[in-house]
A = this chain, B = another copy of it.
């Protein structure tokens, strides 16, 4: 909402896009809707209108009918096991005629083809640039800027929490202290298990394989090792011998299908991925025509918001 406000003049002047916020759903305020428009500045200031709030999932269709959105943004927390409730939200939004924009990668892994088919049937877009590396061009880049390429595989550092934790452990912290530090700077969640056990990275690998390589891979087909088994001693010994631990994501096309993994690897300091620190993430695509690396430097929450904004512009143009 803050970015929509900051870009309001630019959207109007350069893209002929006017917007109105007709509904919001969050844990704190429930699901509220007003087809004449909610006040975005008031919402940002924590002043919520005194109108009835619905509880989803039971009243999702009532909320949608009242908000009557042309574009729906899905940014609920990831449940990598089933992709819910995000999938139900996106389906309901598409069914009521809205474009569906998701920052939640669960629906890609569990319902990509279904959501694409539904969007196509309704003449709407299902877009999800923010699901991997925030608003960095990945999913929007391939069809438009990289047509007719053969994507043979990729390698990436795609999880910020483990990147911060491993860097802090190099400095001498224990895993627990490093996790605390990552939580203090707002990178790690209260329960960091999904990051530490490699699930977040595994879901990202699956999303890239499903969308960019066209193979409907399942999470249990991706070899997964988290970073809990790495001791501070190992991390520091690696550093002293000119190496750094990174949680590396990999996928490649083989004659027997996609081979994909997420696991800690020691990289020499001459590997550009060894230089990635903090919330900086990167992916290198192996294409038939060249190798292409994309690095997102020092991502903050505005980078995720920007991915949603970019999808909004692409959807309504």
Given A270-B275, A290-B134, A294-B292, answer yes or no on A310-B11 (Cβ-Cβ < 8 Å): no
Q: How far is the CA of A315 from the CA of B18 in the complex (A)?
A: 29
User: Which of A46-54, A142-150, A179-187 lies at the binding interface?
Assistant: A142-150
Q: Which of A87-95, A165-173, A249-257, A296-304 contacts B (4 or more CB under 8 A)?
A: A296-304
Chain B residues with Cβ below 8 Å from A26 are: none
- Indicate how many identical chains form the complex: 2
Q: Which of B129, B137, B292, B298 contacts A291 (CB 8 A)?
A: B298
**A249-308: which residues lie under 8 A (CB-CB) from chain B?**
269-270, 272, 275, 284, 289-300, 302-303, 305-306
* B contact residues around A295 at 8 Å (CB): 272, 284, 291-295
- A7 interfacial contact with B, CB 8 Å: yes
Q: B294 and A290: CB pair below 8 A?
A: no
Confirm or deny: A309 has a beta carbon within 8 angstroms of a beta carbon on chain B: yes
Which secondary structure characterizes the binding site on chain A? mixed
Which residue of chain B lies nearest to A144 when distances are taken between CB atoms in the complex?
B144
- Say which size band chain A's interface belongs to: 35 or more
- On whether the beta carbons of A313 and B148 are closer than 8 Å, the reply is yes
A314 within 8 A of B: yes
Does the CB pair A290–B310 fall under 8 Å? no
In the complex, chain B residues whose CB is within 8 Å of the CB of A270: 275
Cβ-based interface call for A140 (8 A): yes
Choose one: B137, B144, B149, B272; the contact of A272 (CB below 8 Å): B272
Q: How far is the CA of A270 from the CA of B276 in the complex (A)?
A: 10
Q: Are A291 and B296 in contact (CB under 8 A)?
A: yes
Chain B residues contacting A3 (CB-CB under 8 Å) are 289
User: In the complex, which residue of chain B has the Cβ closest to the Cβ of A3?
Assistant: B289
In the complex, the 3 A-B pairs of residues with the closest C-beta atoms, listed nearest first: A291-B297, A137-B145, A293-B295
